[in-house]
Structure 1
């Protein structure tokens, strides 16, 4: 039903229009009539009409003035002017006010019904559009937290999050291109045992919506899910200030969030904050935030740059370096290169132990981060609980009381998992890839290229490249390089051949290129390897 008000200083016009509309248009209700501009303003306040038929020439406040006053309070009301006057100035003012139509006296009944039907259709379209907008907002409100969580998971699992990032910038209409990460932890901090962390996490989940709202109220951000006892937050930032000013601003936001959450949660709260980066590099800020969180002692909030100032350390092995080494280790695990994996892990242990000066808590926390990534890799490769024994890892690691025992335990576990990953891949290798591997192994001393191998196994180069990488975990080029370098290592151990002779035996024509490649993959030159 549409509400309509008629305004005219002639009673006969009011009565005639009221009768015409009620007789011919069932879905329009004439809720009131008025005989002056002042009276029209008053009845519109009371009835909030959808449509007003307004006479122009009336004593006191005229129709144009009345429309102007009414529109300030009722912006969605449609107006139709009724008048015996055809002056251009009135029509011009009416157009400027957004009047829908202009009906001249004497009134043509068909013109009235046509105009009102047209306005009804316009109103209906607008109402439906508003309804869709409301429905879309409700849907968006439900889906945004899901997308936010997916983004944070991508960030935490070290996967490519750039596509998700573009979605958020579009959804939130975010114009800022920089940001920083803060990690909020509930409980007693890094020395809290796993059981207590899970208990805190369960309590936190029950009030998570309120915590999420409190965070979003303080800043423009993406809020991740509660994972055990932590929430990861990406805060948008312009970074127009100096580093120091930006750090102070980030700390003030964190402090405000801290105070809001303390009112909701009966638990200790700690917040680690990373530096501000371009959004596509926010992974760096996440690592710094985690690093800051793990360095909290008596404080509730710590910024990464405050730690740098406090420690004034010249340690070149940063937390970002640790994450890069961990990522490299996982790549070797995926490939199934056990020998290089073990060597890389031993080097990693030495660097971590040196960095933390033998602090077993710090070393254990770092190894725990690595093992979470290792178990995630195992899961992606479909290794089951009965094979890997995921559920016992945390208890086993927490029970170890020396750095040596932690390192040995980690090496045993990772060595076993890489064997299982490789075994599972070997079982699923297709006949095409098996034939290709056999051909490559038998012709390593020759010039090998993707097109020739593809012809040998009768598939297109594009398809062969794809299935080879999917099934082996290495590209064709990477696989050939590794096989040749492995043979070179064995030949070097015999001391029977010169470096140049070995270069030619494994299919390379340039000894300098071979030496550079060998050092890149092995870590030392061929001469040093002997």
Structure 2
């Protein structure tokens, strides 16, 4: 590769000598122009875009330093080498401070010229390779972005743990935002309440998806999910805002801008539901609200969850999102097999929905039916068969129940039974490796346990052990250790023989404050309140 060089000096003998020397000694350099003044140097650079400029300091009119300042404004990548006599050395130092690569003293030594040029060529080559690598890496990242985004959105939609995907995305792009909200965008024909041709619109959507995705990303910093049937899910990053109303207005204005941008690209009706702003790890809440908002659209095209005017005043204290959170917690406790907490959570849930719906059997029955659908989905995941669960008769049984007490007792029996069956199923499929690990953990709960040490104990890699332990036990290694330690803590608290601090240290924790926070998070009450 040839590098372009311009030589600037007011002495013709210097220009000719340098040009001849460089031509004979440095193969990769082409002298594209010479100049005898600062003004000529500036004009030559505009014409030839040099990689390197040899610049004399002392010249008539515009001197070398002034010429360098003017050229660098237009050619920031050009490298400069100062040519100066000994008496001009102070000027040379000033030029070096301006970012000049090197300087050559007169009388000029040929070996110094070749040394300086080879050094600069090496620097330019390294810099260009680095720039090329950055471009290639950026292209690779651009290919990874949709994979990460789609993986995150799928995890969000399927109600699985999406925190790993979110962390990877934030780390990769150095996203500092801690909050966000979800928009769900739906495409179709006709009014939203009578939306038609959803599948056909979804098929067409695959063709206009890239343009729509780009239009959304141009408007805001966000994660854009794939087109699923006729819907797209978008998580918008948000900075902290003190006012909910201010944040809502901002979200609505963004949705309106997105709506107008997409309208220019798509021959379809567009509807957008917006959820509230939450901490990113609670994005599921915003998704539920966005879906709820979308389903409440009538004549408008955009609805925010907090603008829905037809909310039942009785729902102010216990919202739709609260119901979903409690239902999800019940399912998690079912899979954990914590009978005590499961029963308490169920009773609390019944009390809340009774109060919310003022004892209306239809609304309570529908809410419990929704919970049972989630319970049955959990039983499918754990491979429980019809002959064990008997789920085909659930709907008829549920509809025959005429009192609130009978309805709730029936639900409690069914959920408790399925929880027992899930634990039994897990117990029958524990491998020798996981059984060994579980026995070791149970025997060393009061010690400092970590995944790597347990993996060594059972002679498998940490990654493989983590997977099979979660698959067979139903809990991650950390979740299992926490559960066992909290179970021991509850037994010790019931005896009233130990202080909270003593229990903390005996079950393997070093910080009583951390233990108390963890206990309250998992049990629902603090250790001092537990009976």
- Whether 2:443 is the aligned partner of 1:451: answer yes
For the pair 1:259 / 2:257, whether they are aligned, the reply is no
Q: Secondary structure at the match of 2:313?
A: coil
Distance 1:355 1:190, change over 3 A: farther
Q: What corresponds to 1:80 in structure 2?
A: 81
Q: Which moved more, 1:39-48 or 1:173-182?
A: 173-182
Give every structure 1 segment of 4 or more consecutive aligned residues whose post-TM-superposition deviation is greater than 6 Å.
Answer: 336-341, 348-353, 355-360, 366-370, 413-420, 431-437, 460-469, 476-482
Alignment partner of 1:98 is 2:121: no
Aligned 1:422-441 pairs, distance under 5 A: 425=426, 427-430=428-431
Distance 2:108 2:251 in 1: 67
User: Given the superposition, is the C-alpha separation of residues 414 and 78 from structure 1 closer, same or farther in structure 2, using an over 3 Å criterion?
Assistant: same
> What residue is the counterpart of 2:313 in the other structure?
313
Q: Give 1:79 shift.
A: 0.6
**Displacement of 1:18:** 1.1
Q: Is the 8 A contact 2:252 2:304 kept in 1?
A: yes
Query: Any idea what the Cα deviations from partners look like across 1:311-343, whole Å, max 9, x if unmatched?
Result: 3622243122222233134325535799979x9
| Secondary structure class of the residue paired with 1:224 | strand
1:148-159 equivalence runs, <5 A: 148-159=149-160
Match of 2:526 in 1: none
Deviation at 1:251, TM superposition (A): 0.5
Q: For residue 202 of structure 1, report the CA deviation from its aligned partner.
A: 2.0
Note closer, same or farther for the CA distance 1:61–1:382 as it changes in structure 2 (3 Å cut).
Answer: farther
Normalised to the residue count of structure 2, the TM-score between the two structures is 0.71
Residue 22 (structure 2) aligns with: 21
Counterparts of residues 232-247 of structure 1 (less than 5 Å): 232-240=233-241, 242-247=243-248
Work out whether residues 330 and 374 of structure 1, in 8 Å CA contact, stay in contact via their aligned partners in 2. Answer: no
Q: Which runs of 5+ in 1 are unaligned?
A: 394-399, 440-448, 455-459, 483-502, 511-519, 522-530
Contact 1:5/1:33 (8 A) holds in 2: yes
Kindly tell me: are residues 197 and 350 of structure 1, through their superposed partners in 2, closer, same or farther at Cα, counting changes over 3 Å? farther
Q: How many positions carry a matched residue from both structures? A: 464
Cα pair 1:180 1:236 within 8 Å, conserved? yes
Paired residue secondary structure (2:87) = coil
Query: Within 2, Cα distance between the matches of 1:35 and 1:101?
Result: 20
**1:374 touches 1:414 (CA, 8 Å); kept in 2?**
no
1:85-484 aligned at under 5 Å gives the runs 85-187=86-188, 196-240=197-241, 242-307=243-308, 310-311=310-311, 313-315=313-315, 316-331=317-332, 334-335=335-336, 354=357, 371=373, 375=377, 378-379=380-381, 381=382, 404=399, 425=426, 427-430=428-431, 450-451=442-443, 471-473=472-474
Q: Distance in 2 between matches of 1:59 and 1:414?
A: 94
Q: Report deviation, 1:224.
A: 1.6
Mark the CA change 1:294 to 1:154 in structure 2 (over 3 Å): closer, same or farther: same
- The Cα of 1:233 is off from its aligned counterpart by 1.4
Partner Cα distance (1:174, 1:20) in 2: 53
Question: Are residues 369 and 117 of structure 1, via their aligned partners in 2, closer, same or farther at CA, if it must alter by over 3 Å?
Answer: farther
Other structure's SS at 2:314 match: coil
Contact 2:318 2:352 in 1 (8 A): no
**SS of the residue 1:314 aligns to:** helix
In the alignment, the residues of structure 2 paired with residue 96 and residue 139 of structure 1 have an alpha-carbon distance, to the nearest angstrom, of 38
How has the CA–CA distance of structure 1 residues 337 and 87 changed in structure 2, closer, same or farther, with 3 Å as cutoff? Answer: closer
Q: Distance in 2 between matches of 1:124 and 1:203?
A: 47
Q: 1:319 to 1:85 in 2, by over 3 A?
A: same
Deviation at 1:431, TM superposition (A): 6.4
Distance 1:468 1:7, change over 3 A: closer
CA distance 1:36–1:368, shift in 2 (3 Å): farther
Residue 107 of structure 1 aligns to a residue whose secondary structure is coil
Contact 1:179 1:236 in 2 (8 A): yes
